[in-house]
Structure 1
Amino acid sequence: MPKPIWTPLLALGLAACATAGPDYRPPEKSAATTAGAQGEFLSAQGEAFGNAELPDHWWQLYDDPKLDALIEQALAANTDLRVADANLTSAQAVLREAQAQRTISTAISGGVTLARPSGTGESLPGVVGYDLGLSAAYPLDLNGRIKRAIEASTADVETVMAARDYVRVSVAAATAKAYAQVCAANYSLGVNRRVVSLQRETLNATQRLFKGGRGTAFDVSRAQAAVDASEATLPAFEAQRQSALYLLATLLGRAPADYPRDVEACAVLPALHAPMPVGDGAALIRRRPDIRQAERGIAGDTARVGVATADLYPQVSIGGSLGLGGPIKSFATGSSFGLSLGPLLSWTFPNRPVVKARIAQADAQVQADLARFDGSVLEALRQTETALESYRRHSEQSAALDRARDSAGVSAGQAGKLFRFGRGDFLSLLDAQRSLAGAEASAAAARVQLVQDQIAIFLALGGGWS
């Protein structure tokens, strides 16, 4: 008795029962596994840094309830995060679609025909016929094509989750930075207003001396010019404050006009009360969402190599169908029933060069992913070292500028006393006050820069998600 035609094909399908393609393993030889990447940061030297790992909610290190509330609101309402959440929902739906390929698929068909077979001699309009059918198929997935597709979709979901976490990191840092900018603008505004107040006192004293015959109109005009020059700097800080408030509103998912009024008057810079916890390179690599995103990309594309490889072999499923068909006058009679059951095969054997080309494309994509992963690790380390070094050097600069400001304050006080007692000239007093104004502004700017540097470090370290 001759063998059914599907017997050798089924045997070939069973021969390919091993899951097609390579199993994913995290890259063992990569930039992330080197000693230089795993160790302590070169720039985290000094008492300002600690070896403890960065907490998830790093902004709580500032112990500022207003900042905590702003970031909580931003993480709940930010539009970029809403987009990221929608992307994650879409990826999860794609995963469910891939998982559904393992279930039984069904199809229902039906139709009615009106025909006059040739040579029958029957008169028009002909014979009314019908055809009803129900079919079902269950994929055996002998070569693991569906399994690899599910692995790829699962990795895609994790990739999108990592991308969403990176958005959270960025939103938290941007909110903290905008809040710090509001406080910094008011802080700088206060510093410069104190300078203006001091210069105005000098102007008033000069005017009194001029009226008493001890000064000149030139002294008065120079004192007025110094006041005017310092006052000219104030609108810029007010503009910076409003700009930061409008940015805060946007980050919170609000219109600019609905900016948070409760932080408008903040004039105290956020300050850390303990050494900054930075951990080491190994903790950074584990924490950074963009590195995890790159690693999950490798996993997903490795699984897609298996999806492409599976096309070298037949796709086998068990299927069956039940049908009714024939003239309408014999509807539901015994002769109208049909039944079939057996394996179903699908195979693109003549297109093997096409399949092999797709496998080569998938392999090349994995190699690109590996390079991208190494690049993500190296860039994360570079960003962190740069941020740490900048903060360390700016800390030294800020300390020096504080000393310069204190010295300028002493010098301005001495010049004022000498001038009032007639032992110093007015030009020396103006020079001393001009130096004090510059030193105050530079010291304030340095303190503001330190806060910006701290937030840049937190962003580089990848904190802000759980």
Structure 2
Amino acid sequence: MKRLALFAAAGLLALGACTTVGPNYKVPEAAAVKAPAAQGPFLGAGSRAVSQDPLPPGWWRLYHDPTLDALEQQALAANTDLRVAAANLARAQAVVGEARAAGEPTVNVSGSVERARESGESFLLFEPIPPENLADVGLKVSYTIDLVGRLRRVAEAAQADAEASQAGLDLARVSVAGEVAAAYIDACAAGEELAVAGRTVELQARNLAVTERLTAAGRGTALDVTRARALVAQSRSSAPSLIARRQAALFRLAALTGKPPAEFPTAVADCAVPPKLDRPIPIGDGAALLRRRPDVRQADRTLTGATARIGVATAALYPTVTLGLGVGSTGLLADIGQPAANRWNAGSLISWTFPTGGERARIRQADAAADASLAKFDGVVLNALRETETALSAYAQDLQRNADLRAARDEAAVAEGQAQRLYRAGRSPYLTGLDATRTLAQADAALAASNSQVAADQVKLFLALGGGWEQAPPVTTVSRR
């Protein structure tokens, strides 16, 4: 009894002395995410095209385009990249369950029945032992005391990994939402540029008809007609590449929504006007950006896991204590459960690998891994701010360029009309009208391309802001059976 009391006292003492080795995670004060300049307004926030209002979830709804809304919902539910990210998250969550279960008691149940003849000499008998039916049944319960918090640190690291995987899924959602919007805009922009090319061909064809009539009346030359025909052919040459670009965008939309190319969204095939915003883009500030962007959260969780693994490595310096209890019955099959065959045991096991340079080297490895994770965390934060400022600058400048091109197109249209009237009245040479027509065609094409660029800039800015994952639908799973 005295020994049992001492054993119990020692066990209680060990339990009372439990602690958790290694550093507890907190964002370092010197981390880039805490810099005052990273928390304030953006440098490009002064543009009239943006506001400091919070970015709403589902930013694509700002376009008020039902077709785009439907495509986004389909992609967020069925995109294959999202299915991969969702499966990785499920695996990480299962690892968390495994890590937490390591701190629970382990129960082993065993049983066996056999017909055997034992060796007589093993029992110091010189005559054979007849064959008998033998059996063994047992129950063993063991529990590892988390003396220095190794298991807690393992579970903490696994939980951080799972949270990083969740952030990875959200990051994939941001990317998919941006790709869908970009492909949709590209398809519509190609349609708009095709329409502009068609109008240019019509303009050149009318110019050709006028030139042929004037030449027939003796007011022109065969060279004028040849030049007019060349312009018509040149204008027609841009259509095939635009058609191919639109088809590529449609096929990209099909793949993004989890469908084969033949099932591209037919509703987009006739789109000829890129979606437009009717309000400034809400961008918030740096603090909101860093809270929202999934890659920043993913880097933070990765650093959390790396910090927890320092504790796992440090715990190897301390002994492992396991308590065990076993009961069972071993003997002849007919005697199983009888007092003579029953057995039990209770005790503890202390194992300790004497610390050497190897264990301390592993702690240094964990420290270095945490340092690398912090550096990556800082890099992700700085990159998020850089991407956003770059997107804001590009958007503002391309908006100004678009306004200038619109003014140039309007002036070119006026000049072209004046030149044609003067040519028909015989008060201007053919080359003047030809040059005016060419200038108008170029201005129309440049404005259409600029419209496409402005719309693409908007998507890049939304991508840099990192929204679109907050209210995403669950990813559709596909059965393997």
Instruction: Give the TM-score taking structure 2 as reference length.
Output: 0.92
Q: 1:294-330: CA deviations, max 9, x gaps? A: 0001111211222222222222233210021235565
SS where residue 43 of structure 1 aligns?
helix
Show the 5 A alignment for 1:43-122.
43-111=44-112, 112=114, 114-118=117-121, 119-122=124-127
| Aligned twin of 1:155 | 160
SS where residue 43 of structure 2 aligns?
coil
Q: Shift of residue 6 of structure 1?
A: 7.3
Query: AA paired with 1:187?
Result: E
Of 256, 261, 264, the residue aligned with 1:256 is 261
* Pair 1:343-2:344 in alignment: no
Q: Shift of residue 143 of structure 1?
A: 1.9
In angstroms, what is the RMSD of aligned CA positions? Answer: 2.1
| Aligned twin of 1:218 | 223
Of 316, 324, 327, the residue aligned with 2:321 is 316
* Pair 1:456-2:460 in alignment: yes
Show the 5 A alignment for 1:5-404.
13-14=14-15, 17-111=18-112, 112=114, 114-118=117-121, 119-123=124-128, 129-328=134-333, 330-345=335-350, 347-404=351-408
Of 395, 416, 429, the residue aligned with 1:412 is 416
Q: Shift of residue 162 of structure 1?
A: 0.2
- Tell me which moved more, 72-81 or 19-28: 19-28
Q: 1:179-220: CA deviations, max 9, x gaps? A: 000110000111111111111100011111122222211111
- Residues 148 and 303, structure 1, Cα contact 8 Å, conserved in 2: yes
**Separation in structure 2 between the aligned mates of residue 194 and residue 256 of structure 1, nearest angstrom:** 30
* Pair 1:441-2:448 in alignment: no
Query: AA paired with 2:232?
Result: V
Q: CA 1:2 to 1:307, structure 2 compared with 1: closer, same or farther past 3 Å? A: same
SS where residue 203 of structure 2 aligns?
helix
SS where residue 350 of structure 1 aligns?
coil
**Separation in structure 2 between the aligned mates of residue 134 and residue 383 of structure 1, nearest angstrom:** 61
Query: AA paired with 2:227?
Result: R
Structure 2's unaligned 5+ residue stretches are 471-481
- Residues 307 and 370, structure 2, Cα contact 8 Å, conserved in 1: yes
SS where residue 345 of structure 2 aligns?
strand
Q: CA 1:329 to 1:237, structure 2 compared with 1: closer, same or farther past 3 Å? A: closer
Structure 1's unaligned 5+ residue stretches are none
**Separation in structure 2 between the aligned mates of residue 408 and residue 277 of structure 1, nearest angstrom:** 35
**Separation in structure 2 between the aligned mates of residue 61 and residue 329 of structure 1, nearest angstrom:** 80
- Residues 13 and 314, structure 1, Cα contact 8 Å, conserved in 2: no
* Pair 1:426-2:430 in alignment: yes
- Residues 186 and 267, structure 1, Cα contact 8 Å, conserved in 2: yes
**Separation in structure 1 between the aligned mates of residue 126 and residue 333 of structure 2, nearest angstrom:** 19
Identity of aligned residues (%): 47
**Separation in structure 1 between the aligned mates of residue 356 and residue 151 of structure 2, nearest angstrom:** 19
Q: Shift of residue 223 of structure 1?
A: 0.3
Q: Shift of residue 398 of structure 1?
A: 1.1
Query: AA paired with 2:219?
Result: R
SS where residue 324 of structure 2 aligns?
strand
SS where residue 131 of structure 1 aligns?
strand
- Tell me which moved more, 183-192 or 204-213: 204-213
- Residues 181 and 244, structure 1, Cα contact 8 Å, conserved in 2: yes
**Separation in structure 1 between the aligned mates of residue 120 and residue 82 of structure 2, nearest angstrom:** 65
**Separation in structure 2 between the aligned mates of residue 184 and residue 329 of structure 1, nearest angstrom:** 86
Query: AA paired with 1:139?
Result: T
**Separation in structure 1 between the aligned mates of residue 109 and residue 3 of structure 2, nearest angstrom:** 31
Query: AA paired with 1:41?
Result: F
- Residues 142 and 316, structure 1, Cα contact 8 Å, conserved in 2: yes
**Separation in structure 1 between the aligned mates of residue 284 and residue 120 of structure 2, nearest angstrom:** 85
- Residues 120 and 128, structure 2, Cα contact 8 Å, conserved in 1: no
Q: Shift of residue 353 of structure 1?
A: 3.4
Q: Shift of residue 130 of structure 1?
A: 3.8
- Residues 16 and 313, structure 1, Cα contact 8 Å, conserved in 2: no
Instruction: Give the TM-score taking structure 1 as reference length.
Output: 0.95
Q: CA 1:301 to 1:114, structure 2 compared with 1: closer, same or farther past 3 Å? A: farther
Count how many residue pairs are aligned between Structure 1 and Structure 2: 465
Query: AA paired with 2:293?
Result: R
**Separation in structure 1 between the aligned mates of residue 191 and residue 109 of structure 2, nearest angstrom:** 72
